Structure 1
Amino acid sequence: MSLPSTSQTTVAEKDNDTSIRRSLSNLSKDEEQAVSLTPADRTRVLRKLDLHLLPFVSLLFLLAFLDRSNIGNARVAGMARDLDLHGLRYNIAAAVFCIPFALAEIPSNVMLKLFRPSRWIPSIMVAWGLVMTLMCLVNTYEGLVIARVFLGLTESGLFPGISYYLSLWYPKRNLAVRIAVFFGAGTIAGAFGGILAYGIEHMEGIGGLHGWQWIFCLEGLFTILAALLTFFFMHDYPDQASFLTSLEQEHLTLMLQEERSATQAQFNREFVWEALKDYKAYLQVGIQYGILITAQSIMLFAPTIVNQLGYTAARAQLLIVPIFVAGCLATVIVGILSDKYNSRGPFIVGGCIVSIVGYIVLYTHKTPAVGYVGAIIGSMGAYPCVPINLAWAGGNASGSDLKRGVVLAMVIGLGNLGGICAAFIYYDGPQFHVGHGTIMGWLGLSCILSLVAMWDCRRSNKIKEAICKAEGIDENRKQEFAHLGEQSPLFRYTI
């Protein structure tokens, strides 16, 4: 993709820079003295953001997760039989989604920077909603594969886009729990999807469509309706938020300017290359591989695994609900704790270990009930790691909003290529030893890479501390080094 040079400024860029310049620029000393920020002020502003932003973006991601994961519900509801998905055909249909999904995420976040979020995000929602709705007309395996390719392409921008969008509103210390709430909505979509599929599949024969086709049709129409509303109700940037008073906007500016410089709002392709060359981003990508392969496998195969444990197809649709509800609750709770202690790596390591325990239970179970408990434990350990890793990557990518957006898109996009692996490891039912064993290996890798990233962040912080001590640099000189972003001797990486 060809990016414009800094000398070629579009109308959208000008609007973008104008809209965020105040909230991302440094306040003058007079303004800092005029606007005092107490803990109560900080809490009030954050709660107001939570009330107006989180429910909305959570709904969007719930719909996205519902649309990408309903293929698992449709499979159990009769799609495998009607489309003759023998052998690895279902696995291939599940896997092809991940390729365009991963490759389009970085360009999508660049486009989000060029255009307003309230225009770009609803537009891609309309696109994937149309694809999802038209999937009800699929009547061959080949048609299903093609539809999944286009679904992955059109849906690719939402997850990294919203993660980036939230990073523009919240200080990095307060970001993990917000991404956790937003991601938790996607997790709960697995439960909601099971309940919805249980009811919709009873529409078998209505309008000449099978029950699983109605799953695609109705869920796609829900997405289109939500997208049309998003055009009118989504706020773009902090200084344009009509729900904040002018004083609250000043308070939010003070909170954000602590970690952002005047270069933050600029569009410069050098920030893209800076992100692509950052080795720390690739460490986060590696961590994301292990936890996303686990999350994707749960999403794609939970109905099948529960069905293979000995439960009927109809009961399997309902029995997956506690698996995703438990994962959602764990995601929010761990996100709160991660922000409270301003720590990321230890929570990822802990979550991976918990999930490994669950998969050991699944691997060794002798009765369906025990295996079912193992599935719940695996979900509770894996799902919280995803938003925490995103908050870790985004918080440590400082210096430019564009760099942060590209890093997040890299972690999400390249990490989602792991979905190809997830799609092909569950084929040896009913025990699924290959699938469960592979997941344990990937979770182990995420543990190791998290420990490496923690060591690297700690090492870098010690070097910066030594420089500050040797040269007498303290917080009073923060603005002097603000333009350096994470290269500033006063910047500290979150561990």
Structure 2
Amino acid sequence: MLFYIRLALANGSVHKTFLGLAEAGYIPGAMYTLSTWYTKQELTKRIAIFFFGMFGGTAISPLLGAALLKLDGKCGLFGWQWIFLVEGLFSIAVSIFLFCFLPERRGVPVTSNQANISDSGGIRPMKEPLAPPGKTHIPFRLVWNTLTDIRKWPHFIATGCVFATWSPLTTYTPSIFVELGFTRSKANAFCAIGSLLTLPVILLFAWISDKSSKRGLTVMVAIFVYLIALVILRIMMHRVDKWGKLGLWTAVNALAVGYHPIHNSWIQINCQSSEERNISVAVASKNV
């Protein structure tokens, strides 16, 4: 989020600054909401499915943006104004729907589908979700203790290192593809490929994490795979033609965030309270 704010301020775009501020709480809030619904055994795969929506949207947005830019001049609006109008209205509509209909956590009554059969044959409730709703007020002292807890720094640093490269990469990928010689419409279409490939990647690492119960190791492997892709990109960038460069950039985009769903569930599981979990997820998700 801070990357977009810095970029917006550097370009003098106040509206982009407010856009970055407005979106900052979405992912941490969604991660915490999921933790009020699922146990630690269930959480990783659900977070991976949640990111299907995020990265699926990232794949569709360049195509949608290219279509909306063709409305440039219609009704006295520029193309970029159409993008803000249509996507903004859609976001507002979805937020109202979620506010009205999304319960805070799984309902208290236990149905036959929400129960386990005990050894004696009776029905027992499912395990409690990872994070029952906590206090409405989080004291500053808890915020400070969480931020200064050195055991959480690897979580924060890992996200910072990955997103420091991935955020600008995804932001400027369409421009990079145009500089390779592709038209703007083709560049936007090619951008969608990397985001679509992200979906099976995050699901694969989530499955590995659940099967092995080694969340930390899975996170490190996923980040290492992304690092290898960056190194190959750096070495081969000037040795291949534009299609080779397109493939390298696409691979980097696809592998960048394979670690992210596991990382989010890992840090939540290692927290001692719902309040600590709120703070940790917010920092780990939005510290760049």
TM-score scaled to structure 1, two decimals?
0.51
The answer (yes or no) to whether the contact 2:115–2:125 under 8 Å persists in 1 is: yes
Tell me the amino acid that sits aligned with residue 256 of structure 1: E
Q: Give the Cα separation in 2 of the matches to 1:157 and 1:150.
A: 13
- How far is 1:158 from its partner? 1.0
Tell me the amino acid that sits aligned with residue 148 of structure 1: K
Q: Give the Cα separation in 2 of the matches to 1:234 and 1:358.
A: 39
The answer (yes or no) to whether the contact 1:238–1:249 under 8 Å persists in 2 is: no
The answer (yes or no) to whether the contact 1:176–1:388 under 8 Å persists in 2 is: yes
- How far is 1:260 from its partner? 7.3
1:343 to 214, 217, 221: 214
Other-structure match for 1:409: 282
2:188 to 307, 317, 326: 317
1:168 to 36, 45, 50: 36
- How far is 1:376 from its partner? 2.3
Q: Deviations over 1:181-230 (max 9, x none)?
A: 21232112221001111211111210112222211111111111112212
Q: Give the Cα separation in 2 of the matches to 1:301 and 1:381.
A: 17
- Please say if 1:370 is aligned against 2:238: no
Other-structure match for 2:111: 245
Q: Deviations over 1:100-141 (max 9, x none)?
A: xxxxxxxxxxxxxxxxxxxxxxxxxxxxxxxxxxxxxxxxx5
Task: Report the count of equivalent residues.
Answer: 276
Q: Look up the SS of the partner of 1:203 in the other structure.
A: coil
Q: Give the Cα separation in 2 of the matches to 1:247 and 1:189.
A: 31
Q: Give the Cα separation in 2 of the matches to 1:184 and 1:98.
A: 27
Tell me the amino acid that sits aligned with residue 320 of structure 1: C
Q: Give the Cα separation in 1 of the matches to 2:250 and 2:45.
A: 21
Other-structure match for 2:6: 96
Please list, as runs of the form range in 1=range in 2, the aligned pairs for 1:9-24 lying within 5 A after superposition: none
Q: Look up the SS of the partner of 1:384 in the other structure.
A: coil
Structure 2: gaps spanning 5 or more residues: 117-122
2:165 to 290, 294, 299: 294
Q: Give the Cα separation in 1 of the matches to 2:251 and 2:264.
A: 22
- How far is 1:297 from its partner? 2.3
The answer (yes or no) to whether the contact 1:327–1:376 under 8 Å persists in 2 is: no
Other-structure match for 2:99: 231
Q: Give the Cα separation in 1 of the matches to 2:50 and 2:28.
A: 12
Closer, same or farther: CA 288–314 of 1 in aligned 2, 3 Å: same
Q: Give the Cα separation in 2 of the matches to 1:217 and 1:265.
A: 36
The answer (yes or no) to whether the contact 2:5–2:20 under 8 Å persists in 1 is: no
Q: Give the Cα separation in 1 of the matches to 2:92 and 2:138.
A: 33
Tell me the amino acid that sits aligned with residue 279 of structure 2: V
Q: Give the Cα separation in 1 of the matches to 2:145 and 2:113.
A: 35
Q: Give the Cα separation in 1 of the matches to 2:102 and 2:96.
A: 11
Q: Give the Cα separation in 2 of the matches to 1:252 and 1:323.
A: 44
Tell me the amino acid that sits aligned with residue 103 of structure 2: H
The answer (yes or no) to whether the contact 1:176–1:335 under 8 Å persists in 2 is: yes
Closer, same or farther: CA 224–293 of 1 in aligned 2, 3 Å: same
- Please say if 1:154 is aligned against 2:27: no
- How far is 1:292 from its partner? 1.8
Q: Give the Cα separation in 2 of the matches to 1:147 and 1:93.
A: 15
User: Which is richer in helix?
Assistant: 1
- Please say if 1:385 is aligned against 2:259: yes
- How far is 1:160 from its partner? 0.5
Q: Look up the SS of the partner of 2:156 in the other structure.
A: helix
Q: Give the Cα separation in 1 of the matches to 2:18 and 2:131.
A: 37
Q: Give the Cα separation in 1 of the matches to 2:144 and 2:241.
A: 52
The answer (yes or no) to whether the contact 2:35–2:43 under 8 Å persists in 1 is: yes
Other-structure match for 1:255: 127
- How far is 1:165 from its partner? 1.1
Q: Look up the SS of the partner of 1:199 in the other structure.
A: helix
- How far is 1:253 from its partner? 5.5
Q: Give the Cα separation in 2 of the matches to 1:412 and 1:326.
A: 21
Q: Deviations over 1:229-268 (max 9, x none)?
A: 1222111122358xx63883798964127x779xx84566
Closer, same or farther: CA 238–180 of 1 in aligned 2, 3 Å: same
The answer (yes or no) to whether the contact 2:223–2:258 under 8 Å persists in 1 is: no
Closer, same or farther: CA 272–252 of 1 in aligned 2, 3 Å: farther
Q: Give the Cα separation in 2 of the matches to 1:273 and 1:359.
A: 35
Structure 1: gaps spanning 5 or more residues: 1-67, 69-91, 100-140, 418-495
Other-structure match for 1:183: 51
Q: Deviations over 1:311-334 (max 9, x none)?
A: 111110111111110112211221
**Sequence identity, in percent?**
24
Closer, same or farther: CA 265–212 of 1 in aligned 2, 3 Å: closer
TM-score scaled to structure 2, two decimals?
0.84
- How far is 1:174 from its partner? 2.0
Q: Look up the SS of the partner of 2:127 in the other structure.
A: helix
1:212 to 80, 83, 86: 80
The answer (yes or no) to whether the contact 1:204–1:211 under 8 Å persists in 2 is: yes
Q: Deviations over 1:336-365 (max 9, x none)?
A: 221222122222222223223322343223
Q: Give the Cα separation in 1 of the matches to 2:175 and 2:111.
A: 51
Other-structure match for 1:24: none
- How far is 1:162 from its partner? 0.8
Tell me the amino acid that sits aligned with residue 379 of structure 1: N
**Structure ranking higher on relative contact order (CA contacts 8 Å, 6+ apart):** 2
The answer (yes or no) to whether the contact 1:177–1:332 under 8 Å persists in 2 is: yes
